[in-house]
Chains A and B, each alone.
Chain A
Amino acid sequence: MGVLTRVWQRIRRRRRPASSVELLQRAERYRREGRFEDGAALARDVLGREPKNALALLLGGYLHAALRDSRAARAAFRAVLALDPEHPRAMLALARIAFEDGEVGPATQLLEKALRIYPDFPEALALLDATRAVAGEPAPVVDSAASGTLMARLGQIPRPEGTRECLLLTTDGVLLLAHPATATRDALAVHLARVASLGSATLARAGLGALRRASVSANPGTTFIAIEGRHVLALTLPPETTVAAGQSQAAELWTRLAAEVRA
């Protein structure tokens, strides 16, 4: 083959636009590299050519989810399911987004459907276990008068010095004590119950046993969580508090609260 022929072939190859498969392979490679924006752009290019390319929709959905754009991800996974109503990965991905948005019922239904079609689906099984364990909405208080009395008694128990926030709740999200009594205390109780359930499920999947203690460090302070039977105590202390000191203070406070709860 002559030099000119080789040069011409190279030029032709360069000019040939990448196929959809090549673009998606590149997008997948970018996903593995953490280059989510670049990957999403390629998936969009493919969808520009083939709006019903299920692979491009799925990969685009994953990349939007990786970029924490739940709305775009949800739309992409829904489009996959419109093309293939039994697509297991799209059902799992959509279930995860529904769960993140607090839609526990729809998430559970999607996971159950995926598992009916594909019983051997480990991620769906793990998530289904977690969705069944967590609280979706704040659980109704059966006797508000009795609950109010208990809350008042618990509120009188001295809390550690420097306490920024203190919540006691049941594992299904019923609030027993909130200090201070902020407007978001019920939503916070549900969030803490979900964190405790998911933390517990994660530890169990790793073969480490049931959740006993946790700590979550954020800008305003560190929240020390103690799980005792069906109760979750969350004590937020200043950020400089060490884990050992915080857990010890949470344990001491739980001892005092437990006496009142049992009474």
Chain B
Amino acid sequence: MSPEARAVPTTAGVVSRAAAVRGILGNLARIPGVRGGLLIASDGFVIASSLPPEIPLDPLAALATTLGRELELGTGKLNRGMVSIAFFSADDGSVFLGPSPMGFVLLLADRQADVSVMRAEFRKALDTLQAAWRAGDHTGGRL
């Protein structure tokens, strides 16, 4: 039996305020140099994804959430304030990670991507997410 066999049953075709959030993620994915993105809840649940199929979704989400929580908890415990954006760079590309009201947003960028442009766009997207969340009625009605 696979671990998935015991997962909670899901309901397909749900329209929600998460749709607006998915739209923001979709817009981010159109920035030149962006390979894809993820919106993850703080428990590692993938709310939205625009990752290329060759990237394993669940393991990446598990690690990104753990990294996000480490940044969140570590800076909190050590009185370092709140993390707004984290950026990790390797030889073949980079990762942006930021907090959102639903959990975390992760963005993957190519090696050739203009990091400063992406950073600005990512920050804007995080602000838009926050504003979209606040504008909602917190029951999902308006989004």
Closest Cβ of chain A to B128, distance in Å, is 15
Q: What is the CA–CA distance of A120 and B58 in the complex, to the nearest angstrom?
A: 12
Q: Number of B residues contacting the other chain (C-beta, 8 Å)? A: 71
* B140–A205 touching, CB < 8 Å: no
Total number of residue pairs linking A and B with CB closer than 8 Å = 225
Closest Cβ of chain A to B84, distance in Å, is 5
Which of A38, A67, A188, A202 has a CB less than 8 Å from the CB of B60?
Answer: A202
* B8–A58 touching, CB < 8 Å: yes
Which of A59, A92, A126 has a CB less than 8 Å from the CB of B63?
Answer: A126
Does A209 make an interface contact (CB < 8 A)? yes
* B87–A243 touching, CB < 8 Å: yes
Which of A29, A89, A126, A242 has a CB less than 8 Å from the CB of B7?
Answer: A89
Does B108 make an interface contact (CB < 8 A)? yes
Q: What is the CA–CA distance of A122 and B124 in the complex, to the nearest angstrom?
A: 33
Which of A9-17, A150-158, A190-198 interfaces with chain B? A190-198
Which of A88, A126, A187 has a CB less than 8 Å from the CB of B59?
Answer: A126
Q: What is the CA–CA distance of A195 and B78 in the complex, to the nearest angstrom?
A: 14
Which residues of the partner chain A approach B102 to less than 8 Å between Cβ atoms?
Answer: 34, 66
Closest Cβ of chain A to B51, distance in Å, is 8
Does B25 make an interface contact (CB < 8 A)? no
Q: A198 — nearest CB in chain B belongs to which residue? A: B67
Closest Cβ of chain A to B13, distance in Å, is 10
Known: A62-B45, A122-B56. A215 touches B21 (CB 8 A): no
* B58–A217 touching, CB < 8 Å: no
Q: B17 — nearest CB in chain A belongs to which residue? A: A33
Which of B2, B74, B82 has a CB less than 8 Å from the CB of A191?
Answer: B74
Q: What is the CA–CA distance of A22 and B94 in the complex, to the nearest angstrom?
A: 42
Closest Cβ of chain A to B136, distance in Å, is 9
Question: Per-position contact with B for A210-222: 1 when CB-CB < 8 Å, else 0?
Answer: 1111111111100
Which residues of the partner chain B approach A88 to less than 8 Å between Cβ atoms?
Answer: 3, 6
Question: Per-position contact with A for B6-47: 1 when CB-CB < 8 Å, else 0?
Answer: 111111001011100100000000000000000001111101
* B63–A208 touching, CB < 8 Å: no
Known: A34-B17, A243-B116. A208 touches B62 (CB 8 A): no
Which of B21, B44, B90 has a CB less than 8 Å from the CB of A212?
Answer: B90
Q: Which 8 A-B pairs have the closest CB atoms?
A: A219-B81, A33-B16, A126-B59, A65-B43, A191-B74, A209-B90, A88-B3, A123-B62
Given contacts A32-B14, A212-B90, 5 further A-B contacts (CB under 8 A): A32-B11, A126-B62, A127-B62, A200-B88, A203-B94
Could you give 29 example pairs across A and B, Cβ below 8 Å? A29-B11, A31-B41, A31-B45, A58-B8, A87-B6, A92-B62, A96-B44, A122-B56, A126-B60, A126-B62, A127-B63, A127-B66, A130-B66, A191-B70, A195-B71, A202-B60, A203-B95, A205-B60, A206-B93, A206-B95, A208-B94, A208-B95, A211-B88, A214-B89, A215-B86, A216-B85, A216-B87, A220-B81, A244-B116
Chain B contacts to A: CB under 8 angstroms:
1-3, 6-11, 14, 16-18, 21, 41-45, 47, 54-56, 58-67, 69-75, 77-95, 97, 101-103, 106, 108, 115-116, 119, 138-140
